[in-house]
Chain A
Amino acid sequence: MSIWSRFFSREKQAELDRGLQKTRDNLWSRLGKLLTGKSTIDDEWLDELEEALISADVGIDTTVEILNRLQQKAARERYRNSEELQQLLEQTILSLLPPVQQPAPAQPFQLPDNKRPYVILVVGVNGVGKTTTIGKLAYQYKQAGYQVLLGAADTFRAAAVEQLTIWSERAGVPLVKQGMGADPGAVAFDTVQSAMARNMDVAIIDTAGRLHNKKHLMDELGKIRRVINKKLPGAPHEVLLVLDGSTGQNALEQAKQFMAVTELTGLVVTKLDGTAKGGVVLAIAHQCQIPIRYIGLGERITDLQPFDPESFVHSLFAGAASA
């Protein structure tokens, strides 16, 4: 059973607590042991922590930042034992993350009242799970009682439209599509227009995967965004960058480049049901000040959860002790 599903399945609260306790014990007993008989955090202890962070893909710069902040904090605020030091560490890491949403919605999949249709554009490099994420988002918004419309603007990849069609059927929501090779901007325009005409609450638009260093494809994405904005001023209300949780430091460059053309509003981290920790999003959230919105935990339509910073921080250290 993966760390993440352990953290996030609500029905297994007891198991979650136990699992969490166990992982904490693992790392903290080891970090704790290293602290015994010492009055300050020493290099050996910091090395240990550094390894845990690096192996979770947090990256060197952000790891160094965390270590520095922790050392300062520890020097200011006296801690008595390793539990208190753990709290300091968690606070330190959480302080790197930008606030999730202002104002925060009462329910995870609740739309602001004054924006209809609420347009969400989903972007990312190839194979990160954009289409799957859209299927899950559609399902969640539908469950929350909204009228959802999907737009199949990935007109490039073989069978991408068919894939989204299947997800739309699973979620029970309508879909706007054109043929393979159609202009993605036109599909996005159609989707928004149709959502307005049919009084939809939310329109979610899929785009083709594109590597962030391909200028013409990034330009195309900028155009899609402008087309949407022209049809409905203020839209897209959200631009979500989907990141594969197993991606390393390159994700940071992805975020920067997508940020430059589409004004990202949030991150979705997928495939966290495996052994990857996805620590690079910490670097992204910190350096680009983009909030993490959702995490993907599997292939079922229900496997999408709002991001919970504290669980995420716990998971970074889960299993690190045995590695």
Chain B
Amino acid sequence: MFESLSERLESAFKQLKGQGRITEINVASTLKEIRRALVDADVHYKIAKEFTDRVKEKALGAKVLQAVSPGQLMVKLVQDELTALMGGQAASLSLEQKPSVILVVGLQGSGKTTFSGKLAYFIRQKLHKSPLLVAADIYRPAAIEQLKVIGQQIQVPVFSEEGLPAVEIARKAVTEAKNHGYQVVIIDTAGRLAIDEAMMQEVADIKAAVNPEEILFVADAMTGQDAVNTAKAFHDRLAFTGVVLTKMDGDTRGGAALSIKYTIQKPIKFVSAGEKPDTLDIFYPDRMAQRILGMGDIVSLVEKAQEQYDAEMAKRLEKKIRKNQFDLNDFKEQLAQIRKMGNLKDLLAMIPGMGKQLKNLDLNDDAFKGIEAIINSMTPEERANPDIIDGSRRRRIAQGSGRDIQEVNQFLKQFEQMRQMMKMMNKMGSINPLHIRKN
């Protein structure tokens, strides 16, 4: 995980302390940190520079309110400016024609075929229109087969024809759609490099032949500094209507999004995050701004927790806690649940403000290992009823788990405290098993 911007700024802002106004002098090092954070997030270096210049203009002379520190004010300025740049409103697809043709273009491996499948699914499920997928990547081995398999999975028909040039396939597909009443034609094209003249000509020819209503440029969210060149080259040639960011389920900060948006001024229409057909989402500028700045992403954390959390088990657990029957078996299950969500440090880092505390903490998945070993060395009876664990049992558990007896003692003490806390929470009313803490 990257250091968060706010954390970085903190040191830069130390010198601002006690000053009521942001001035040319005290803002310089801060802006440098912002620029650095942006470049680290793969924002193009020239754009990062222009961006910080804009922020500087807005910041200079801005009054620092008493409630807000200059640091917080700057972060807010940066975030607002970034959100505005990413596009204030969500842009929808234009699907007026009959049939509407959507051309999907991009570099190799950016995720066009997977996205085409998701888009077809989205159009059917959310927009209630009938889509036709078109396999126009006649070059990559098994690309057509791939689209066919995806089409089968989501039960959307796939048009393909062996031995024809891509332009002809596209043309025929549109006729097919007209004849059979498909409302939206999604053409999945081959991946191509912007400098490959023959291939760029091909996609320009497809455009001329089928007159698409939407041309979506698919870009890997992990793209680096080259995003600007590629997007510009594709746009110069095709004048695309929107951008799609893929592989957003990775941990990239996604600065390429800003680079592309800034250079081309075309809306980002979708973000794609995962391999399942329903993992396509419309684009939220504010979320993206926070992500690029590495400011902690509480929404993602909640989503991640929901994704992995077993609701059934949570209910059972809640009941047990209510009856004050929470035992070490349940605790062990809880640990396993948390582990399923992934690296603990990464998870905690998603909580705004947590990044700094975690920085020097050597916290990894092994943090629970000792505790798990201790629990595993207990008999089922001991786990269900920790009160019976006396001195001799403690010695045995310590030996069995390879931990010191002190650690066993400490853990049992902590567990008892936790139970007391739950008891108290019970009295106060609402409880949520997700809130169980380590200590």
Whether chains A and B associate is: yes
Interface residues in B89-137 (C-beta closer than 8 Å to A): 107-111, 113
Question: How far apart sit A56 and B42, CA to CA, in the bound complex (Å)?
Answer: 11
> Beta-carbon contacts of A155-177 to B below 8 Å, as 1s and 0s?
01111101101110010000000
CB B148 to nearest CB in A, in angstroms, measures 8
Q: Is the interface of B mostly helix, strand, loop or mixed?
A: loop
User: Counting CB contacts under 8 A, is B153 at the interface?
Assistant: yes
Q: Is the CB of B247 within 8 A of A54?
A: no
Candidates A125, A159, A277, A299; contact of B247 at CB < 8 Å: A125
Q: Which of A7-15, A88-96, A182-190, A244-252 lies at the interface with chain B?
A: A244-252
User: Counting CB contacts under 8 A, is A215 at the interface?
Assistant: yes
Question: How far apart sit A126 and B247, CA to CA, in the bound complex (Å)?
Answer: 8
Q: Is the CB of A167 within 8 A of B141?
A: yes
Residue of B nearest to A163 (CB): B142
> Beta-carbon contacts of B208-252 to A below 8 Å, as 1s and 0s?
000000000000101111110110010000000000000101111
Question: Which residues of chain A are near B251, meaning CB under 8 Å?
Answer: 211-213, 250, 253
User: Counting CB contacts under 8 A, is B354 at the interface?
Assistant: no
Question: How far apart sit A273 and B225, CA to CA, in the bound complex (Å)?
Answer: 16
Q: Is the CB of A274 within 8 A of B40?
A: no
Question: How far apart sit A192 and B195, CA to CA, in the bound complex (Å)?
Answer: 40
CB A247 to nearest CB in B, in angstroms, measures 5
Q: Is the CB of A246 within 8 A of B224?
A: yes
Candidates A54, A127, A160, A212; contact of B225 at CB < 8 Å: A54
Candidates A160, A213, A250; contact of B346 at CB < 8 Å: A213
Q: Is the CB of B193 within 8 A of A273?
A: yes
Q: Is the interface of A mostly helix, strand, loop or mixed?
A: loop
Interface residues in A36-85 (C-beta closer than 8 Å to B): 51, 54-57, 59-60
CB B59 to nearest CB in A, in angstroms, measures 22
CB B255 to nearest CB in A, in angstroms, measures 7
Q: Is the CB of B223 within 8 A of A247?
A: yes
Question: How far apart sit A28 and B186, CA to CA, in the bound complex (Å)?
Answer: 47
Contact A246-B226, Cβ < 8 Å, known A51-B45, A163-B142, A275-B195: yes
Q: Is the CB of A60 within 8 A of B40?
A: yes
Interface residues in A259-291 (C-beta closer than 8 Å to B): 271, 273-277, 279-280
CB B50 to nearest CB in A, in angstroms, measures 14
CB B289 to nearest CB in A, in angstroms, measures 18
User: Counting CB contacts under 8 A, is A129 at the interface?
Assistant: yes
Q: Is the CB of A162 within 8 A of B108?
A: no
Q: Is the CB of B226 within 8 A of A276?
A: yes
Question: Which residues of chain B are near A180, meaning CB under 8 Å?
Answer: 149
Question: How far apart sit A186 and B432, CA to CA, in the bound complex (Å)?
Answer: 41
Contact A215-B222, Cβ < 8 Å, known A127-B247, A246-B107: no
Question: Which residues of chain B are near A280, meaning CB under 8 Å?
Answer: 224
Q: Is the CB of A127 within 8 A of B146?
A: no
Question: How far apart sit A158 and B39, CA to CA, in the bound complex (Å)?
Answer: 35
User: Counting CB contacts under 8 A, is B408 at the interface?
Assistant: no
Q: Which of A's residues lie within 8 Å of B, judged by CB?
A: 2, 51, 54-57, 59-60, 125-129, 131, 135, 156-160, 162-163, 165-167, 170, 180, 211-216, 244, 246-251, 253, 271, 273-277, 279-280, 299
Beyond contacts A213-B346, A216-B340, A274-B226: 17 other A-B pairs, Cβ-Cβ < 8 A, are A60-B36, A125-B247, A126-B109, A127-B220, A129-B109, A163-B140, A212-B250, A246-B230, A248-B223, A248-B224, A248-B225, A248-B227, A249-B42, A249-B253, A250-B250, A251-B224, A299-B108
Can you name 23 A-B residue pairings with CB atoms under 8 Å? Answer: A2-B193, A57-B226, A126-B109, A128-B109, A157-B275, A158-B153, A159-B142, A163-B140, A163-B146, A211-B249, A213-B250, A213-B342, A214-B249, A216-B340, A244-B109, A247-B220, A248-B255, A249-B40, A250-B42, A250-B250, A271-B107, A274-B193, A277-B226
